[in-house]
């Protein structure tokens, strides 16, 4: 039982043993990390400093941006450090922190995306009751419940995973991921955590069904809008949310529920990268960088005039094109 020994460390998966490819991995992850941090920080600053964006939708976007920054900051810097230093090590306490914080931000993210679907449902299907149902107090309580739920979720799985004795310290993933850690268990106690993971996936699918149901009602209402411009505006606020959440749920569920092999798999690595890194990168892009109110708020924030606003929009389009090409 290795985790009972003093100074126990895990060995994470290397992307490559070739030094040039390790540096390439470092630079690629650095680019992705800086793009994610920059995009989400722009959203936070715009929402906080522009009173025109003090609405429920933008309040949810701001919290989503904070969660996305936390999610990528938990796993990407350590992976970059290991690549540039040509090492694989992560301490036992560091692995515990990684599992807890990653699941904390991931669960909070899923909860918030579900709340955003409810916000769009009320705004489009019950516009007359929107101000009453989505008032300031209600929004704060919703967001607080998402953060607290994520905290409890992280504590539950971190304590359940690391209460298990490990017979190996080689993790076949570039960060401490529960399915890969459970493969290292020495006893059948890991089945308890497996049951907790399956239950969690079931709850995520329940959120997915709730969102699908909400959007079915939304699309029915939107199709009744006589104005083509009105329908396009409604679809533009709903479809990106549905695409991001679907990608997150499907790839995450497949990564957690599929049988894990004893050797590193390129498919496991690709799925993990998709569900752990792509949503935080895409969220600011599809939710806000294409939002005219956010663009105007950023232009005002930086003190630009009309001509410079156009330049800022051009920069944002370049940023969007860069991320798309990545």
pLDDT of residue 54: 86
pLDDT of residue 163: 86
Helix (H, G, I), strand (E, B) or coil at 279: helix
Residues with Cβ within 8 Å of residue 74, at least 6 apart in sequence: 97, 98, 101, 102, 105, 175
Q: Which class would CATH give 2-325?
A: mainly alpha
- What is the pTM (predicted TM-score) of this model? 0.84
pLDDT of residue 173: 86
pLDDT of residue 261: 61
In angstroms, the CA 77 to CA 92 distance is 17
Q: pLDDT means per 10 residues in the chain (326 residues)?
A: 64 86 91 90 86 86 92 93 91 93 92 89 88 92 94 90 87 88 82 79 85 85 74 68 76 68 69 83 72 72 56 57 53
Q: Taking the domains of the chain in order of start, what are their residue ranges?
A: 2-325
- pLDDT tens profile 15-53: 878 888 889 989 999 999 998 998 888 888 888 888 888
């Amino acid at each position: 039982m290795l985790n009972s020994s003093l100074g126990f460390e895990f060995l994470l998966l290397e992307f490559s043993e070739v030094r040039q490819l390790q540096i390439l991995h470092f630079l690629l992850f650095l680019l992705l990390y800086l793009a994610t941090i920059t995009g989400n920080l722009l959203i936070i600053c715009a929402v906080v400093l522009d009173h025109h964006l003090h609405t429920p939708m933008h309040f949810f976007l701001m919290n989503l941006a904070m969660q996305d920054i936390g999610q990528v900051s938990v796993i990407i810097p350590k992976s970059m450090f290991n690549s540039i230093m040509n090492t694989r090590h992560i301490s036992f306490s560091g692995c515990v922190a990684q599992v807890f914080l990653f699941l904390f931000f991931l669960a909070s993210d899923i909860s918030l995306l579900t709340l955003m679907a409810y916000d769009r449902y009320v705004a489009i299907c019950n516009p007359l009751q929107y101000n009453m149902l989505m008032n300031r107090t209600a929004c704060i309580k919703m967001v607080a419940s998402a953060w607290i739920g994520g905290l409890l979720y992280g504590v539950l799985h971190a304590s359940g995973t690391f209460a298990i004795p490990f017979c190996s310290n080689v993790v076949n993933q570039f960060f401490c991921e529960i399915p890969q850690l459970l493969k290292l268990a020495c006893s059948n106690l890991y089945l308890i955590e497996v049951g907790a993971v399956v239950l969690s996936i079931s709850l995520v699918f329940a959120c997915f069904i709730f969102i699908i149901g909400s959007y079915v009602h939304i699309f029915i209402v939107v199709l009744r809008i006589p104005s083509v411009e009105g329908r396009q505006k409604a679809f533009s606020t709903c479809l990106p949310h549905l695409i991001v959440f679907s990608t997150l749920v499907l790839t995450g569920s497949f990564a957690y529920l599929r049988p894990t092999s004893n050797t590193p798999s390129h498919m496991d690595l690709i799925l993990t990268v998709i569900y752990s890194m792509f949503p935080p990168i895409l969220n600011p892009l599809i939710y806000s960088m294409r939002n005219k109110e956010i663009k105007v708020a950023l232009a005002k924030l930086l003190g630009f005039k009309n001509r410079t606003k156009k330049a800022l929009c051009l920069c944002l389009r370049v940023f969007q094109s860069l991320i798309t090409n990545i």
